[in-house]
Amino acid sequence: MTLQNEETRPFDTMSVALGTTPRADPAGTLGVDLDDNGHIAIDAMQRTSLDGVSAIGDVPNGIDQIAVATGQGAVAASAIHDDLSASRS
């Protein structure tokens, strides 16, 4: 990577924090429960209080790391698959 001062540094990985504030209030407007901190309330499988709606990333827990969101996305996808499979039986 080349820095602003033209210095080049090798990296194997990089994590970027954008410094944004998650906005869960639009989900609350739709009827999704929010916790005491204003984040979307979820269960262990990323499900919200609204049937068929999952939440991942910084809006359910305030952790704004892509690795966390990716893992939560995998959990949510598994739960969605299970939910759809159960509804077809």
C-alpha to C-alpha distance for 78 and 34, rounded to whole angstroms? 23
More confident residue, 36 or 19: 36
pLDDT, the chain, mean:
85
67 phi and psi, to 5 degrees?
A: -65, -40
pLDDT at 22 over 80: no
pTM of the shown model = 0.71
